[in-house]
Amino acid sequence: MGEPELESEQIRLKCIRKEGFFTVPPEHRLGRCRSVKEFEKLNRIGEGTYGIVYRARDTQTDEVVALKKVRMDKEKDGIPISSLREITLLLRLRHPNIVELKEVVVGNHLESIFLVMGYCEQDLASLLENMPTPFSEAQVKCITLQVLRGLQYLHKNFVIHRDLKVSNLLMTDKGCVKTADFGLARAYGVPVKPMTPKVVTLWYRAPELLLGTLTQTTSIDMWAVGCILAELLAHKPLLPGSSEIHQTDLIVQLLGTPSENIWPGFSKLPLAGQYTLRRQPYNNLKHKFPWLSEAGLRLLNFLFMATAGDCLESSYFKEKPLPCEPELMPTFPHHRNKRATPATTATATATEGPSKRARP
């Protein structure tokens, strides 16, 4: 990967058990990881908050893969926690609708680490941007079913993704949709422990997060899927808020003012008393999607509160138009590399803004 030859440079590490340092023998310098030199870099496909992503060829197997370089520049204490989480979670997750982490490879420097992932031809954000016409309803159903299957698997394995959005959904040229970017994902246990509240890119952020909940559940991912389903159907973001207050207001305008009646526990959320929410008694989803069937509207409403398993059973997926086969998904291989990839992930530490993705 064009890194300078530094084989002669000695690696000295601090001992954990006793005082002082030790030198890593040359034959152990890469540990059990392969070297990134075994990959031929083809082109850069994306740059996100946590790393640069390349398309590359594994010279041993000839397979085309995605190489995500772990970004270290701001880190003083080794691998960033987001990358450690991504690696440990992804290594134990295997599902057709979850991006596959094949292995971790290393460069010559201690701080150059790459995730080798199954290559997907496009992400849904660039696809949406480059499509001249919206997805058909059959295609939307095909995508949503795949997202829900991946999510059902994650949730069954006690993982919350916490950053679902169209740019983190990848698609292969066979129309297989895979959830990617586990930089903010967390394993959770029962009882649920408090987690950092500032997760999920603003537009996809659930109201309980906006109102300061300390206990995050799988429903924050379901909320994001609801926003994604609506975005795919309408070919534009559902709730493109520009600040947390604006985001909360957009939700209230769409779904009505929350109350203890329709949302038990609402008034106990830390920020519930701090916002003066507009009075809006109606659910406006029907006005926003006048052409959508009853089952479609029910599913959209349901996503904002149900589990992935329940949503998979929705009659929306069983009525016409039926979900299409993945092979019937559109592909735009030539657009992929022209797109300026947005770096939009809400980080646990920085104050994040809305997605900078160009609006359709």
Ligand X SMILES: Nc1ncnc2c1ncn2[C@@H]1O[C@H](COP(=O)(O)OP(=O)(O)OP(=O)(O)O)[C@@H](O)[C@H]1O
Q: Which of Mg ion, ligand X, none does 58 bind, CB closer than 5 to 8 A by kind?
A: none
Q: Is 49 in the site for ligand X (CB under 6 A)?
A: yes
Question: To the nearest whole angstrom, how small is the minimum distance from the Cβ of residue 63 to Mg ion?
Answer: 23
Integer Cα distance of 127 and 357 in angstroms: 12
Site track for ligand X across 103-142, x = CB under 6 A: --------------xxxx--x-------------------
Site track for ligand X across 141-170, x = CB under 6 A: --------------------------xx-x
Q: HSE-up of 324 (CA within 13 Å, CB side)?
A: 15
Integer Cα distance of 184 and 181 in angstroms: 8
Among 46, 197, 207, 226, contact with ligand X (rule: CB under 6 A): 46
Q: Which of ligand X, Mg ion, none does 99 bind, CB closer than 5 to 8 A by kind?
A: ligand X
| CB closer to ligand X, 200 vs 324 | 200
| CB closer to ligand X, 305 vs 343 | 343
Question: To the nearest whole angstrom, how small is the minimum distance from the Cβ of residue 97 to Mg ion?
Answer: 16
Site track for ligand X across 180-219, x = CB under 6 A: xx-x------------------------------------
Question: To the nearest whole angstrom, how small is the minimum distance from the Cβ of residue 25 to ligand X?
Answer: 34
Integer Cα distance of 144 and 324 in angstroms: 11
Integer Cα distance of 32 and 236 in angstroms: 45
Overall size of the chain counted in residues: 360
Instruction: Annotate 19-69 with DSSP letters as a single string.
Output: SSEEEEPGGGTTTTSPBGGGEEEEEEEEE-SSEEEEEEEETTT--EEEEEE
Instruction: Annotate 171-189 with DSSP letters as a single string.
Output: E-TT--EEE---TT-EE--
Among 4-12, 41-49, 280-288, 302-310, which window interacts with ligand X (CB under 6 A)?
Answer: 41-49
Q: Which of Mg ion, ligand X, none does 36 bind, CB closer than 5 to 8 A by kind?
A: none
Residue 173: active-site member: no
Integer Cα distance of 256 and 278 in angstroms: 9
Residue carrying the six token digits 């520009």: 242
**Residues 36 and 1: beta-carbon distance below 8 Å:** yes
| CB closer to Mg ion, 48 vs 207 | 48
Pairing of strands 159-160, 186-187: antiparallel
Six token digits for residue 140: 């939307």
Catalytic residue among 58, 123, 163, 249: 163
Please list the residues that pair with 169 across neighbouring strands: 179
Among 228, 345, 352, 354, contact with ligand X (rule: CB under 6 A): 345
Q: DSSP strand E in 229-345: where?
A: none
Q: Site residues (CB under 6 A) for ligand X?
A: 45-46, 48-51, 53, 66, 68, 99, 117-120, 123, 167-168, 170, 180-181, 183, 341-345
Residue positions annotated with a catalytic role: 163
